[in-house]
Structure 1
Amino acid sequence: MKRRELPSEPWVDTAVDLMGPLPSNDYIFVIVDYYSRYKEVKVCRTITSSEIINQLKDIFSRLGNPVSITADNGRQFTSEDFKLFCSERNIKLYNTKLYWPQQNGEVERQNRDILKRLKIAQAEKKNWKESLREYMVMYNSTPHSVTGKTPSELFFRRQFRDKLPMIQDMTYSSEDSEMRDRDKELKEKGKEYADRKRRAVESELNIGEKVYVKSMHKSNKLSLNYEPISHTVESNKNGDVELRNDNTGQVVRRNILHLKRVEGQWKVDNGTEDIDAEHSNKSETDSD
């Protein structure tokens, strides 16, 4: 027996295969990473070279191009179009020997697991596509019997979150710490430059203050920049402001940059001043 040597990192050596046809006349296209055992599946109605290429383009747009692809001798994988696709992306294409599927053993083993899951779904009369999605979440989140790590952890350097509670390891590697320090430093430099260019200053709004709200939809050039109805500040959380319309009582959320303080002093008018004034005027009239 000859065993394949483990690649140096994820997404170096990959294997692809097709399963089907299923009773629904669909096919399942499978691609597996030899390092992490991470895999993705795609449901296909046709299995032409162009369809396989389109599925791989979708996967590679998210994960990048692998170094090599191992495939069987199906027409899809031996066509000139597929060879050209791999060549243009600088991917080495290896086709297995005829009648020797063991050469592509990893993906063949994965196919058995997928087929078993589909048979269970068929027996239980469940939606097989939904069962396939659930299986993929479970598979990529479960430690592999050989590596002892989950495929997602080895492939993405992080654990997939599933329904089970997780205890995250919050320790970072030296490379990760350097990246975080660099990210923070450059963000602070960008903030200082933007604040200086805009002459920005701290702006605080207190609960109870009156403001005008910027009009975001102007009907014409003569429309006011701010709505004429005043609003009262209900809360302010780091510039995320809740306001209550003084006429309708409706509560809205706006960024602090879209608000303008109402000039002048505000106080609650409960109507007592008018009553006192009226009483005073009446007393003066009676005395006259």
Structure 2
Amino acid sequence: MRTLNKTIKAATVESLNWKQELFKFLRNYRATPHSTTSISPAEALLGRKLQTKLPELPKSQPKVQKSIIVQDDQRKSAMKEDSDLRNNAKESELKESDFVLVKQPHKDKLSTPFNPKPLCVTDKKGSMITAEDESGHKITRNSSFFKKVEGMRSVPKFEPAQEEEEEFEVTPNEVSEPTPNKTSTPNQISKRPIRSTKRPAYLSDYVT
């Protein structure tokens, strides 16, 4: 889409018909050899090169599909080797009957990267590993999600921890009687000072 937009913008700037310029661009694109296959899209589709307006004798066309497959495999293999070298990728050493730990999603700061319950590997297909827990539940993940547990021959059974109830003996001397609440009685005298009141002086001028 970016290349098409550039073609249309260039045709608009040069005051040309953008539809005709778009057709020219597509013809050139279909006749240009691809960087991976070294063959143009039109030749890969039709099995021959595009015909021009000039007359020419028919030529025997080589088998295009075979060369496309070979060159595509070579380019993909080179890209894979480069990616493995850059990411330090290695083949998984896990095999059937190995005990592993599986990654778990991060919940809080106390959660561990791997689930502490071990699993047993039951099947392996390339980088796809299938593991099973003691209850028979199976999960399938990429080999990068598993971590091998060394020195384990059987899956340990995890039992939920039970809290022990402690019994406390209470002696009669330790029982404290509730103390009655001391409420204020109306006979109690307030400790706050009482303000002295008197008749205002301006009222002495009037007879009531």
TM-score, normalization by structure 2: 0.43
Bigger radius of gyration among the two: 2
Q: Please identify which structure carries the higher helix content.
A: 1
